[in-house]
């Protein structure tokens, strides 16, 4: 019989997997805090580039984590990793935000007519912010699932498998969608460069 | 005979190596066995990588939100106001300003009217 009462050794949350943290988070807020630390920047970035506003990104990020914490008890890992679940919440809230806004900022294509994005020599590298904004504007005109795919790829640096979990598609389907998306984007940019009308560019995109 | 990497595979490999690798050199290496067409996407991929460079949320925001989640206490009013106020459309501000000015003008007019009315009231005649 031990005469000394042993205090349990504190668990180092940073060493635990997402699945273990989710289990703990059902009863212990500290575990959710660790999940928050792991994903807050990624979710913020995803929402920021979907909304284009830092204030809305903060508001929506807060809502994502508040909702996740409230529903963590209902989350079950049936092949859907926690990360994918969190992104789905972010995606749904952002989609609602776009619906509530009821409008999308439409930037006239003629403001951005340029061919530099399509060149291959170093002289033709995308140089200034105006051209990058043209590219972002072209991405904003893509269908929502394609925008989501590009952001998950470029902003969050996720693999096709991880993106597949979030978008509920196979890895092969994501690869194919990514190819089609880049082709549509390239065609749109070529259209802008060659002076196509806005309607023509949109028709090509479809 | 060299087996070519299909274009969709090459584009994924080029993007992943551009984002996670050493950049340009890795991307070109990834496109090595790909159809020549793959390199026509390269400038756009470079542009995308630059256009979507991750941003850093403010430290205050991250700290306040974590505190809110852990303690259940809501964020202070001034923090929420900082989020809500910039969203109000300029027309909304113009209307609010107009109504506020009108309200103040009416109050001033009422006060002036009250002063004049008091001055013009007949004075009680003193008892002789």
pTM of the model as a whole:
0.71
Closest CA to A55 of B33, B51, B82, B92: B82
Token code pair at residue A91: 């995606």
Whether residue A18 is found in the same domain as residue A37: yes
Whether residue A114 is found in the same domain as residue A205: yes
Residue A129: the pLDDT is 80
Has residue A7 been placed in a domain? Answer: no
What part of A 147-176 touches B (C-beta under 8 Å)? 150-151, 153-157, 159-160, 175-176
Q: φ and ψ at A194, to 5 degrees?
A: -90, 5
Q: Is the Cβ pair B54, A119 closer than 8 Å?
A: no
Q: How far apart are CA A71 and CA A177, in angstroms?
A: 31
Residue B83: the pLDDT is 62
Whether residue A177 is found in the same domain as residue A139: yes
Whether residue A25 is found in the same domain as residue A49: yes
Of A103, A130, A149, which closes a domain?
A103
The dihedral over CA atoms of A131, A132, A138, A144, expressed in degrees to the nearest 10, equals: -170
Which helix (H) or strand (E) segment is A63 a member of?
Answer: helix A54-71
Whether residue A97 is found in the same domain as residue A121: no
What part of A 9-68 touches B (C-beta under 8 Å)? 29-30, 32-33, 36-37, 40-41, 44-45, 48-49, 54-59, 61-62, 65-66
Of A76, A103, A130, which closes a domain?
A103
- The CATH number of whichever domain residue A166 belongs to comes to 1.10.10.10
Has residue A3 been placed in a domain? Answer: no
- The CATH number of whichever domain residue A51 belongs to comes to 1.10.1740.10
Has residue A2 been placed in a domain? Answer: no
Q: Is B72 left (phi over 0), alpha (psi -120 to 50) or beta?
A: left
Closest CA to A44 of B45, B92, B54, B89: B54
User: What crossing angle do the helices spanning A144-154 and A171-193 adopt, rounded to 10°?
Assistant: 100
ipTM, two decimals: 0.73
Residue A126: the pLDDT is 46
Has residue A8 been placed in a domain? Answer: no
Residue A92's domain comprises 14-103
**Sign of the CA dihedral B25, B30, B34, B40?**
negative
What is the number of structural domains in chain A? 2
Q: How far apart are CA A47 and CA A51, in angstroms?
A: 6
Per-residue pLDDT of chain B (128 residues; tens, 9 = 90+): 567 789 999 999 999 999 887 777 778 887 888 888 888 999 999 999 999 999 999 999 999 999 999 987 776 666 666 666 666 666 777 878 888 888 888 888 888 888 878 777 766 666 55
Between A and B, how many residue pairs show a Cβ–Cβ distance under 8 A? 122
Residue B87: the pLDDT is 62
Of A79, A103, A127, which closes a domain?
A103
Low-confidence ranges of chain A (pLDDT < 50): 104-123, 125-126
Q: Is the Cβ pair B46, A126 closer than 8 Å?
A: yes
Whether residue A120 is found in the same domain as residue A205: yes
Alpha-helical segments (H) within B1-124: 7-20, 24-30, 42-51, 59-71, 77-84, 90-120
């Amino acid at each position: 019989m031990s005469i000394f009462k042993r205090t349990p050794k504190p668990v180092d949350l940073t060493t635990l997997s997402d699945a273990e943290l989710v289990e703990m988070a059902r009863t212990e807020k500290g575990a959710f805090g660790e999940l928050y630390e792991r994903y807050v920047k990624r979710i913020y970035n995803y929402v920021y580039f979907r909304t284009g506003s830092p204030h809305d990104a903060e508001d929506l990020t807060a809502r994502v984590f508040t909702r996740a914490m409230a529903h963590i008890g209902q989350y079950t890992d049936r092949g859907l990793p926690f990360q994918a679940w969190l992104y789905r919440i972010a995606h749904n809230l952002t989609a609602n935000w776009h619906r509530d806004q009821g409008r999308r900022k439409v930037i006239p294509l003629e403001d951005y007519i340029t061919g530099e994005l399509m060149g291959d020599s170093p002289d033709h590298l995308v140089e200034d912010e105006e051209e990058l904004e043209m590219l972002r504007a072209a991405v904003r005109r893509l269908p929502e699932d394609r925008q989501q795919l590009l952001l998950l790829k470029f902003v969050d640096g996720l693999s096709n498998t991880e993106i597949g979990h979030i978008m509920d598609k196979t890895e092969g389907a994501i690869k194919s969608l990514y190819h089609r998306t880049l082709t549509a984007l390239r065609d749109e940019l070529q259209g802008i460069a060659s002076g196509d009308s806005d309607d023509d560019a949109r028709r090509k995109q479809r | 005979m060299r087996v070519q990497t299909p274009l969709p595979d090459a584009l994924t490999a080029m993007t992943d190596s551009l984002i996670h690798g050493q950049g340009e050199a890795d991307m070109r290496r990834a496109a090595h066995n790909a159809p020549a067409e793959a390199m026509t996407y390269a400038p756009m991929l470079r542009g995308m990588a630059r256009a979507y460079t991750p941003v850093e949320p403010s430290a205050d925001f991250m700290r306040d939100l974590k505190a809110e989640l852990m303690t259940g206490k809501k964020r202070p009013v001034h923090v929420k106001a900082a989020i809500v106020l910039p969203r109000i459309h300029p027309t909304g501000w113009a209307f609010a300003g107009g109504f506020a000015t009108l309200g103040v003008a009416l109050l001033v007019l009422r006060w002036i009217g009250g002063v004049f009315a008091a001055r013009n009231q007949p004075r009680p005649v003193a008892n002789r």
